[in-house]
Structure 1
Amino acid sequence: MTRLAERIRTARTADPNGFDRRLVVPMVLGSVLNPVNSSMLAVALIPIGHAFGVPPSQTAWLVTGLYLATAVGQPVIGRLVDAFGPRRLYLAGTALVGVGGLVGMLAPNLWVLVASRVLLGLGTSAAYPASMSLLRAESERTGLRSPAGILAALSISAQVIAVIGPTLGGLLIGAGGWHLIFGVNVPLSAACLALGALWLPRTASAARADTRTDVPGMVLFAASLTAFMLFLTDPGAAHWYLPVIGAATGTWFVRRELGLDAAFIDLRVLGGNAPLLATYGRQLLAYITSYAFLYGYTQWLQEGRGLSASQSGLLLLPMSVTAIAVTALTGRSPRVRGKLRAGAVVQLSGCAALLFLDASSPVWLLVVLGAAFGIPQGLNGLANQSALYAQADPARMGSSAGLLRTFTYLGALLASAANAVFFRGGATSAGLHDLARLLVVVAGLFLVTCLTDRSLSRVGREA
């Protein structure tokens, strides 16, 4: 192991002007841990509900638990990456993924399973900000202003998992039950730990970052976000205290951060960066639609259309294949405005098409619709990621990237809440149509933000 590590260090210094492509493998593998857990669960919600005798409104907590933990964990861990470097956070996070997978495999009831999803959410929060921090450090070392190819590789890898995830999940459920979709995290975690220990540099950004950590700010941020998200998962007068707690801790958080030099989230800098704020807003809107479709449509295929988990997973293949093809074709261009506008138009059209589905809809129509949704899947996320890379403060790339993922998972949480409301009595065609009406509004807002943001024309121009 010592000799291998020495050869690695020698190889790294042999070509000081080249991007160290050995980093790409652990970056990509770590970054897909969250997508693989998201996509496989989409076909497992109905079998898990049947196994524990609970309705979709309760299995929605499996989605909520992971994304609530991730939405809170991403910027917190991202700030720690900025402070202490990516290696330690990457290794700790991927180890926690393996623990979460074991807990899920052995879960005796739904709520232990939810707890395992929380562990998975926290564990998968480390890899993406660590990868973006590594990418920024390598870009500064080599002088590569816009590493569009590497960014595209990260995006394509997530799309590949979107292909593999639902189909693999359906096959695993058919072969040995839903427990196996949790067990797959164990070998993935082991691979990340081995590759991370071998290839990730021991110092990448820690030397230039402020190592002070605003722990009270992190706690207040987590408390505020958790209170609001818990209310959204089950809104009602009986839970009036949750938004009150969220507002109070949120106000405290803002006042505290504005008065600190080493704040967890530098609101003064963030507030003066309107293009970055717009990118966060677009990410939220895009992923409300994306995740509502992924989970809502998949549940409807099984209950409303009467298909099996394996068949539903196969019907998601056209969406993911299209997304991969679109990302591969457009990924090397750093320009984002055209991608976002095209993705917004197709996304809005797809949401409107959901209004015409029912239990007798032919399979060819479902295939075409899935393929159409793959176009915005391949364009929107990559474009927002490229925009963030150009807009964020390099010294806070980890926390900025973490916040982008936070808005992604806020969208997932809102989508989960919408699915729980509209599918409260089951994933029926009527519930799907109600969900589609909401998504038409959200997709319309996303289109408006893409058309009116003039700053997008500048992204990628310097590359």
Structure 2
Amino acid sequence: MTEARTDAVREADQPGFDRRLLPPMMLGSVLNPINSTIIAVALIPIGKALGAPPSQTAWLVSALYLATALGQPVVGRLIDIFGPRRLFLVSTSLVGVAGVVGTLAPNLWVLVAARVLLGFGTCAGYPAAMALLRSEANRTGRDSPAGVLTALAVTNQTIAVIGPLLGGLLIGLGGWRATFALNVPLAVAAVLLGLLRLPKPAGTGGGMGVEAGTEAGGGTGAEIGGESPRRGRPDTQLDLPGMGLFAATLISLLLFLMNLHLRDWYLLAITAAAGAAFAARELRAATPFIDLRVLGGNTPLLVTYGRALVSYVVAYAFLYGFTQWTEEGFGLSPFHAGLVQIPMFLLGIGASIVSGRRQGVRGKLLVGAVGQIVACLVMLTLHGDSPVWMLVVVALIFGVPQGLNSLALQNSVYFQADPERTASSAGLLRTFAYVGSMVASSTTAASFGQRANTGGMHHLAWIMLGAGVLFLLVTVFDRTLGRVATTDTQAAK
């Protein structure tokens, strides 16, 4: 008992998580989801104003995710090396520029360019938040509280609640251009918070250990720019050729997914060639952009990435496809279409809060998988003359996986990833999620064609159902999830 009391006193004397970091972490991480959810209710008004069908306005979704899927692991790697402050400030400033370009855009393709800028501008928020969590764990000598991870997930879901409703209000007050203008004050607030709250570098070339870990006098040599104890080599160099080949692989793949057709077979050939060159480069590089040897040996993390891809195919197909159908196929206004989405996000927040401090991720993922399947089955029963309460029921059912899956995937990566590459691993999680969004956007465009009608919505629901079943199977047969439960429990203490 004496030894236990001594351990308790020692733990109480350790510094706690610096709560001043939470505002910039949260605001930075929500810049992407708020633009994702607002555009869901703006697609139909934009299409009508610019004379573009759903098959073309789908590029407004894909442009952001193409840029973000490419940029997040790149920016995450830069954050691992140089720390979050500079990358956060530059990136969030770009969000403000994108807001101005989008507000003044004269046509659809300039608007698509603005969404690309938004994608790159929102790249730093989430990897920076995860890197700060890891640096605080190094500084305090203990894992960051599970409540902080939960708060990060709940913040993203809270913004998702506000997004569709806010988008509908903005469209009603100032038209669809107001949804882009919103990014200007958000970017100003993020930059100011970053300047005031994010730790300043104490030196150069030091990554997170320099920015956050040095204050406590801790950190390893690798953290302050020395030799990596894991690999015995410098780990602060940029692998520019690897980043370029990664970009070529991802862009060609996503361009193919955006317009599925046999005539575009050459894009798959480019994807295969660039992917092979990328793998060859990373296996030879002294400081690879993505350490394929380490990643290849981390099967649990690879499975988590695959699970994220499949999960987000369902989530984003519902967010964009179902919302477009409620406006054009069912006849709701953008504001009322946003209202229909609110029950999903509210229940998602509740699910995250209730499950946030409970150990393990397996149970969360299983319940989330079943929730996706049930919701897709209910979607297949909907028609243009269905009662509005049926739309709300579908949204409520989707709220369960909305809250559980995102939290479980985030926690899985935090505990499965190499601590030295927390930010880039978190960025790679988002990359797989955004590849899933590309698939969802492509299948939505193919299902609807020129108009978001009920037949197209049912076609999309069948695709979502198949992805939901695959997600369930991958989760049921993944025996490594039990290890995350043990670590998750330790972090919650």
- Give the TM-score of the pair, scaled to structure 2: 0.90
Distance 1:310 1:16 in 2: 49
The one of 320, 324, 327 aligned to 1:299: 324
Structure 1 match to 2:432? 407
Stretches of structure 2 that go unaligned for 5 or more consecutive residues are 1-12, 202-206, 211-222, 226-234
Structure 1 match to 2:157? 159
Shift of 1:238: 2.8
Shift of 1:458: 1.5
Contact 2:360 2:485 (8 Å CA) reproduced: yes
The one of 159, 178, 187 aligned to 2:176: 178
Q: Which amino acid aligns with 1:451?
A: V
Q: Which amino acid aligns with 1:425?
A: Q
Distance 1:164 1:290 in 2: 17
Q: Are residues 1:363 and 2:388 paired?
A: yes
Contact 1:83 1:206 (8 Å CA) reproduced: no
User: Secondary structure of 2:485's partner?
Assistant: coil
Q: Are residues 1:205 and 2:198 paired?
A: no
Contact 1:148 1:333 (8 Å CA) reproduced: no
Structure 1 match to 2:335? 310
Question: Identity rate of aligned residues, in percent?
Answer: 57
Q: Which amino acid aligns with 2:316?
A: Y
Shift of 1:146: 5.0
Q: Which moved more, 1:199-208 or 1:261-270?
A: 199-208
The one of 336, 359, 362 aligned to 1:337: 362
1:16-35 alpha-carbon deviations (Å, 9 max, x no partner)? 71211000110000000000
Q: Which amino acid aligns with 1:330?
A: S
Shift of 1:261: 2.0
Shift of 1:60: 0.2
Q: Which amino acid aligns with 1:158?
A: N
Q: Which amino acid aligns with 1:350?
A: A
Structure 2 match to 1:387? 412
Shift of 1:425: 2.8
Q: Pairwise CA RMSD of aligned residues?
A: 1.1
> Which runs of at least 4 in structure 1 moved beyond 3 Å after TM superposition?
none
Aligned residues: 449
Shift of 1:206: 5.2
1:393-434 alpha-carbon deviations (Å, 9 max, x no partner)? 000001100000001111111100000100103111100111
1:342-366 alpha-carbon deviations (Å, 9 max, x no partner)? 1111111111111111001101111
Q: Which amino acid aligns with 1:405?
A: R
The one of 296, 309, 315 aligned to 1:271: 296
Q: Kindly tell me: are residues 133 and 65 of structure 1, through their superposed partners in 2, closer, same or farther at Cα, counting changes over 3 Å? A: same
Shift of 1:330: 1.0
Shift of 1:260: 1.3
Shift of 1:304: 0.8
Distance 2:337 2:58 in 1: 18
The one of 63, 82, 85 aligned to 1:84: 82
Structure 2 match to 1:352? 377
- Give the TM-score of the pair, scaled to structure 1: 0.95
After superposition, where does 1:61-460 map in structure 2 within 5 Å?
61-145=59-143, 147-203=145-201, 205=208, 207=210, 208=223, 210-460=235-485
Q: Which amino acid aligns with 1:276?
A: L
Distance 2:244 2:53 in 1: 33
Shift of 1:145: 2.2
User: Secondary structure of 2:41's partner?
Assistant: coil
Contact 2:14 2:141 (8 Å CA) reproduced: no
Distance 1:214 1:260 in 2: 8
1:214-253 alpha-carbon deviations (Å, 9 max, x no partner)? 0111011001100010011112233222111111111100
Distance 2:446 2:156 in 1: 28
